[in-house]
Amino acid sequence: MDRTDKYGNSAAFPSGRTGGNAGRSRRTEGKGVETVKAKMISMIERTLDAELPRGRPRVLSAAMRYAVGTGGKRIRPLVCLASAAAAGGKMSDARYPAAAIELLHNYTLIHDDLPAMDCDEFRRGKPTVWKKFGEANAILAGDALLSLAFATAAKAPRNAAGIVAALGERGVGVVAGQVEDVALAGRGPGRAVRRRQAEYVYERKTADLFVAAALMGGLAAGAPKRVLAALERYALNLGLAFQYTDDLLDGDGLYPRGETERRAKEATAAAAGALDALGGDVLFLKTLALSLADRKK
């Protein structure tokens, strides 16, 4: 794996540019968050490298590693690790769930890119898996990543059954969202119907993996139900804000630009507000929500 490329493609957090002591304090705080982030990325990369296969058949191992190693920001595993800390636990207890959510996420990307789905030939500036390894090998690599995700999640030192269940439930949600997305693209219904369908797609296809990441991190930390509920609210709104911001960047959103901006701000505020119910270290999760709303790509 090219770790330098992966780190280089990770989104930077805003450090703040206000004047006086407040500005210096915020810049110091930002540096602290970046230091934590670098350690988290290192933990994620080491775990992924250890879990991904290297052996026979070579084409399968190569396709799986190629898919996972093509410059992703690792947002979902970062949410998983930070959720464990926010719940009062240790990030290291969530390293297998964090790797699992990234493996499952990359399976969805492989299948999304297939000719039968979005028929995309490039992702992150590189040929998609089906374009590089062939359609059949891409399907099989996605299948293998999905299976490996559950095997990796099961290695969690605490609440492994609950973690696997959360991954499975939200993984089905992502597929349900993709089914609705395909139908939405093909039928061309009226605007009101399109909005209802698209909102379902946003919650399932985009937000569900954020929710899974947060819940898995909380479970790995042994969090009680009220903490898990707060993490779920955070992640749902984080996922929605992420999608609204994508719409703004792509210029093809469901709503007029002004309404999309409003929804993105409201979802970001709701995500940050959900963290008030947590007793652990929430700085990273709060900073992440703000940074994703401000991202430019």
Number of structural domains, the chain? 1
- pLDDT score of 15 more than 60: no
- pLDDT score of 191 more than 70: no
Tell me which residue has tokens 């709701």. Answer: 270
- pLDDT score of 41 more than 60: yes
Each residue of 246-278: pLDDT tens digit? 999 988 777 889 999 999 999 999 999 999 989
For residue 256, what is the DSSP state? Answer: -
- pLDDT score of 25 more than 70: no
In sequence order, what are the beta bridge partners of 123?
126
Long-range contacts of 278-283 (CB under 8 A, 24+ apart): 278/86, 278/87, 278/227, 278/230, 278/231, 279/88, 279/227, 280/85, 280/86, 280/87, 280/88, 280/89, 280/221, 281/85, 281/86, 282/86, 283/29, 283/32, 283/33
Flag the least confident range among 1-5, 111-115, 164-168, 293-297.
Answer: 1-5
Neighbours of 102 (CB within 10 A): 28
Neighbours of 287 (CB within 10 A): 22
Is the backbone of residue 275 left (phi > 0), alpha (psi -120 to 50) or beta? alpha
Q: Over range 31-51, report the average pLDDT.
A: 94
Question: What are the E-state strand segments in the chain?
Answer: 122-123, 126-127
Q: pLDDT band for position 193 (50/70/90)?
A: low
Cβ proximity of 217 and 231 under 8 Å: yes
Burial level of 188, CB count in 10 A (0-12/13-18/19+)?
A: exposed
Most confident of 17-21, 56-60, 181-185: 56-60
Question: What's the count of helices (H) and strands (E) in the chain, helices before strands?
Answer: 13, 2
Burial level of 184, CB count in 10 A (0-12/13-18/19+)?
A: middle
Domain with residue 21: its CATH number is 1.10.600.10
Is-cis flag, bond preceding 57, omega within 30? yes
The token pair at 95 is 């390293």
Task: Compute the Cα dihedral for 240, 92, 221, 168 and give only its sign.
Answer: positive
**Residue 136 CB partners (closer than 8 Å, separation 6+):** none
The token pair at 47 is 């775990």
Cβ proximity of 295 and 11 under 8 Å: yes
Cβ proximity of 115 and 131 under 8 Å: no
**Residue 56 CB partners (closer than 8 Å, separation 6+):** none
pLDDT > 90 fraction of the chain, expressed in percent and rounded: 74
Residue range(s) defining the domain that contains residue 284: 3-293
Q: How far is CA 2 from CA 45, 141, 231, in A?
A: 10, 19, 32
The token pair at 206 is 């985009």
Question: What are the E-state strand segments in 56-203?
Answer: 122-123, 126-127
Neighbours of 160 (CB within 10 A): 16
Cβ proximity of 274 and 239 under 8 Å: no
- pLDDT for res 188: 55
- Angstrom distance (rounded) from CA 270 to CA 80: 19
